[in-house]
Structure 1
Amino acid sequence: MDVVELSRLQFALTTSIHWLFVLLTLGLAPLVAVLHTRAALAGPTGKRELFERQTRFWGQLYVVNYALGIVSGLVMEFQFGMNWNGLSEFAGNVFGAPLALETMIAFFAESTFLGLWIFGWGRLHRGLHAALIWLVALTAYASAYWIMVANGFMQNPVGHEVRGGTAYLTDFGALLANPNTLVALGHITAAAMVAGGLFLAGVSAYHFARRTAHTAFFRTSLRLGVVVAALFCYPLYAVGDTQFWGIAEQQPMKIAVLEGGTAELQAAMEAQHGPGDYVPPGWITVPLDLMVNLGWVLFFAPLICLVLLPRDWLVRPRVLAWATVALTPLPFVAAVCGWLFREVGRQPWLVYGELTVADAASPVPAAAVAASLVLFVGLLGALAVTDWVLIARLAHRGPEGVRLGAPEPVPAEPEDGPVTADLGRPAGRA
């Protein structure tokens, strides 16, 4: 493999792994915020205690995923300079600011709010403490918006002009309101909420399948997860379908590959950009078909779960409980397939119609890229395995394994001996 193919493979693998962390982060944060808000608004009754325990349980899973996801995100920043300096030279004036804002929001604002929330248990007013997790959720989506602004420019370059082979920003508003960015962000939001809802439902159903003693605890979580997944299953389908209208206008070659007629567009591209192969690889239809088929499952399954929710019919038979558990990974598989179609289907362009992948690749030795490929993929693979093992263990333990927000043990006072009458201090001490 040459330098370009190695760089593409490295970015594809590392981004796919990182995307799994991001999807769960975006899906869990609002749900933890909802649970914490219910706890803050509940009176001093058993319900407050229940909601607080649920908040700490699901919040602990969120914190584990967020912490390891942050580390995986650092790798993405390095690759822009290491493997794609042509992209930075061409489009750095345009999407440098969105990437910088995304980094500041994720690594400073979001991390600060999350740290205050983690260590605020028992120290902050209930309302202020609940507001912090909402700020975590809002900054998570703000971070996602800015990264999609940069990605949307590569998909549909707007708000700029090219002078001397370099893109210069001319309309910041057009960049922010790029239709490709906004529609894709809506699709991602719906996908994340379905993933978060089914994650809550799957973990809760797992404990019902094991005939847990914490029935009330997981019944509330199960209902919240199913309701949220059912609410967002139609927006997931509707916004996803809307994207194809934009793709047909912005990237007609991608649609031509799906329909099997690329000759005319290939000739038009050659006339405009010079000789070259402008047809994306035909295998992009495979992840697209898988995503669409999984999308139908994710559309109907939450609705069926919602119908079976009363009287615990969804989890009373063990076969249905295990079927609900089996739904948990499906949104993540569909999301990776959607990312492959979105990114690979843009080939051979990195910035569609303006900068090819080959022109954007850094002039570095293939051996150096191969070494970084092994290092980065190994590191992110280890993080992903660690993430899921830790989440699986904590989810398996249930409420007993919660450490987030647990009161600190009070050190026992040393037991003094009898006090002597004449010295007024414990016997046996000098």
Structure 2
Amino acid sequence: MDALDLARWQFGITTVYHFVFVPLTIGLSLLVAIMQTRAVFAKDAVRKDAWTRMTKFFGSMLIVNFGIGIATGIVQEFQFGMNWSEYARFVGDVFGAPLALEGLAAFFLESVFLGLWIFGWGRLPEKIHLLTIWAVALGSTLSAYFIIAANSFMQHPVGAVLNPETGRAELDPSQGSILAVLSNVTALAAFPHVVSGAWLVAGAFLTGVAAWHMVRHHNRARELGIDTEEGQEQHLAARDLYRPTVRFGVLAMVVAALVLVVSGDFQAQIMFKQQPMKMASAEALCETETGASFSILTVGGPDAFSTDCDGVTHLIEVPYITSFLATHTFDATLQGVDDLNAQYKEQFGATALDIHGNEVAVDYRPNLFVTYWSFRLMMGLAAFSGVLALWALWVTRGRGEAARTTGSKAFQWFAVLSIPMPFLANSAGWVFTEIGRQPWVVHPNPDDPVVRLMTMQGVSAHPGWMVLTSLVAFTLVYGVLAVLWFQMMRKAALQGVPLAQRDLETDELDTPTLSFDY
């Protein structure tokens, strides 16, 4: 493998690893803020106590996730200068603006108010303290928008012009400059899709953890006897503490799913116009078709992992659906991978100079196998959340004294199994987005294709061994961090919430002091 392949692997590995923490932070900060709001404005002591406990319980895991997310996120920006210096030189005057805004406006808002939230319990007025976690949620969401705006420029460059003297892309005041970059239609389409994906991650996480404890307390109450004092305590924990959290997590998943479907449909239509090669590869649409079918299962000829259209066979298809997804009409004509490849070779050239000045042949087709299956994994893995939501609603049906909990071990372990699925779906979506754009690191705008850069032209001129050394080092360090993160999150999740002790004479709650021990 040469330096280009190694640099792509390193950026891909570190980015996918970092993005494990990002959606949970974005989504969980919002859900924790809502839980604390419910606690602050609760009308009775029991509900106030329950939501306060759940706020601190999931807040402790938010802190762990946020901390490791910072450590891994810093590496991403340094890589632009280390392994992708030619890309940074070419597009830095544009790309650096949203990154600077992310650091100055969003990250500091998020981190400063998270500190105030952590150390402000019992020190700040209750409603002022509540505002701090809402500031954290706002900061994390703003951070996501600025990063998406930067990435969207790579997908669809706007607001910039190529300076022929320096060979660099620069912000163009005549196009609106930085405002054009921030209001890029690609960013406006991607933002709700990414954020709702984060809500799905957090909702599944919340539901999975709370469901595990609900089942545990339900079964413990049955073992002790529902009529005993300890058994009644376990029963109330299952019904009044964890059951509302399960249903709250389900509500978050439902809202997320609705936004995902609508934003995904809008984003798909935009991508069919801006990056038709990516979407044709996502459907293994090799030849131009009218009324194109949606592929359920497609395999490559003699090689099941075929990277191009050679021997591609569509085994299961739904007629006309791909044309409908692209244009909302069933008879639209969509260009195929091979036809687009020929068109791009004529438009942009069949050869190009790499970073070393060598003329090499160019193939404008992305890796078909990875693009096709990452697109399906993105959708398929998200389906686990749908099953979890329906199952959770069924086993927790009823209201008031008739509200149900369950002791089903099958439900308990399915809830736990469903926790990582939205994480994997999010990662698959980003793999599809980035691999499907190849061989471009800055994809040409169909309306003005002057600002563009190929991936092989954006890499640094390092020897392969140097990139390999850093790749191995990052992989080892990230492996250690992954173990630490998992152990800390597992410890916090299994610990659960200390149960309230009720004074039998006054019927008042004795709320144990909860602390953040990370």
Instruction: Tell me whether the two structures share a fold, i.e. TM-score over 0.5.
Output: yes
Separation in 1 of the partners of 2:59 and 2:3?
A: 42
Structure 2 unaligned spans of 5+: 221-233, 287-335, 351-361, 445-451, 500-510
What per-residue deviation string (whole Å, max 9, x for no partner) do you get for residues 345-392 of structure 1? 100000002101110001112111111111122222322221122111
Corresponding residue to 1:229 among 229, 253, 256: 253
1:208 deviation in Å?
2.4
Question: What are the within-5 Å matches in structure 2 for residues 180-219 of structure 1?
Answer: 180-211=186-217, 213=234, 214-215=237-238, 216-219=240-243
Please tell me whether the aligned partners of residues 121 and 129 of structure 2 are also in contact (alpha carbons under 8 angstroms): yes
Question: What are the within-5 Å matches in structure 2 for residues 130-209 of structure 1?
Answer: 130-164=130-164, 165-170=167-172, 171=176, 172-209=178-215
What per-residue deviation string (whole Å, max 9, x for no partner) do you get for residues 15-40 of structure 1? 00100100110110011001111222
Q: SS of the counterpart of 1:399?
A: coil
1:294 deviation in Å?
2.2
Please tell me whether the aligned partners of residues 190 and 235 of structure 1 are also in contact (alpha carbons under 8 angstroms): yes
Q: SS of the counterpart of 2:196?
A: helix
Report what 1:271 is aligned to: 346
Separation in 2 of the partners of 1:106 and 1:365?
A: 36
1:207 deviation in Å?
1.2
What per-residue deviation string (whole Å, max 9, x for no partner) do you get for residues 201-242 of structure 1? 100111123236332221221121111112221221221232
Separation in 2 of the partners of 1:271 and 1:200?
A: 52
Report what 1:102 is aligned to: 102
1:404 deviation in Å?
8.8
1:293 deviation in Å?
1.8
Separation in 1 of the partners of 2:404 and 2:189?
A: 36
Q: SS of the counterpart of 2:162?
A: strand
Amino acid at match of 1:343: E
Separation in 2 of the partners of 1:315 and 1:80?
A: 50
Amino acid at match of 2:479: G
Question: What are the within-5 Å matches in structure 2 for residues 276-295 of structure 1?
Answer: 276-283=362-369, 284-295=371-382
1:313 deviation in Å?
5.4
1:296 deviation in Å?
3.6
Separation in 2 of the partners of 1:347 and 1:154?
A: 11
Report what 1:54 is aligned to: 54
Separation in 1 of the partners of 2:7 and 2:69?
A: 22
Report what 1:318 is aligned to: 409
Corresponding residue to 1:358 among 437, 453, 456: 456
Q: SS of the counterpart of 1:42?
A: coil
Q: Measured at CA, do residues 337 and 232 of structure 1 come closer, stay the same or move farther in structure 2, by a change above 3 Å?
A: same
Q: After alignment, is 356-365 or 159-168 more displaced?
A: 159-168
1:105 deviation in Å?
3.7
Please tell me whether the aligned partners of residues 35 and 52 of structure 1 are also in contact (alpha carbons under 8 angstroms): yes
Q: SS of the counterpart of 1:158?
A: coil
Q: Measured at CA, do residues 79 and 225 of structure 1 come closer, stay the same or move farther in structure 2, by a change above 3 Å?
A: same
1:405 deviation in Å?
5.4
Report what 2:354 is aligned to: none
1:107 deviation in Å?
4.1
Q: SS of the counterpart of 2:20?
A: helix
Amino acid at match of 1:209: V
Separation in 2 of the partners of 1:160 and 1:90?
A: 12
Q: SS of the counterpart of 1:70?
A: helix
Separation in 2 of the partners of 1:174 and 1:315?
A: 52
TM-score by length of 2: 0.75
Q: Structure 1 residue 220 and structure 2 residue 307: aligned?
A: no
Report what 1:399 is aligned to: 497
Structure that is richer in helix per residue: 1
Amino acid at match of 1:306: L
Separation in 1 of the partners of 2:262 and 2:66?
A: 29
1:314 deviation in Å?
6.5
Report what 1:254 is aligned to: 278
1:4 deviation in Å?
0.4
Separation in 2 of the partners of 1:3 and 1:154?
A: 21
Report what 1:417 is aligned to: none
Report what 2:484 is aligned to: 386
Q: After alignment, is 12-21 or 230-239 more displaced?
A: 230-239
Report what 1:418 is aligned to: none
Amino acid at match of 2:171: L
Q: SS of the counterpart of 2:161?
A: strand
Separation in 2 of the partners of 1:221 and 1:44?
A: 17
The higher-RCO structure (CA 8 Å, 6+ apart) is: 1
Q: SS of the counterpart of 2:460?
A: coil
Corresponding residue to 2:432 among 313, 338, 341: 341
Separation in 1 of the partners of 2:467 and 2:516?
A: 48
1:295 deviation in Å?
3.2
Number of residues of Structure 1 aligned to a counterpart in Structure 2? 408
Report what 1:70 is aligned to: 70
TM-score by length of 1: 0.90
Question: What are the within-5 Å matches in structure 2 for residues 362-377 of structure 1?
Answer: 362-377=460-475
Please tell me whether the aligned partners of residues 57 and 404 of structure 1 are also in contact (alpha carbons under 8 angstroms): no
Structure 1 unaligned spans of 5+: 409-430
Q: After alignment, is 365-374 or 173-182 more displaced?
A: 173-182
Q: Measured at CA, do residues 286 and 407 of structure 1 come closer, stay the same or move farther in structure 2, by a change above 3 Å?
A: closer
Separation in 2 of the partners of 1:282 and 1:91?
A: 28
Q: SS of the counterpart of 1:123?
A: coil
Separation in 2 of the partners of 1:306 and 1:188?
A: 25
Please tell me whether the aligned partners of residues 243 and 405 of structure 2 are also in contact (alpha carbons under 8 angstroms): no
Q: After alignment, is 12-21 or 210-219 more displaced?
A: 210-219
Report what 1:35 is aligned to: 35
Report what 2:22 is aligned to: 22
Separation in 2 of the partners of 1:389 and 1:365?
A: 37
Structure that is richer in strand per residue: 2
Please tell me whether the aligned partners of residues 199 and 328 of structure 1 are also in contact (alpha carbons under 8 angstroms): yes
Separation in 2 of the partners of 1:7 and 1:314?
A: 51
Q: SS of the counterpart of 1:57?
A: helix
1:141 deviation in Å?
0.4
Please tell me whether the aligned partners of residues 234 and 299 of structure 1 are also in contact (alpha carbons under 8 angstroms): no
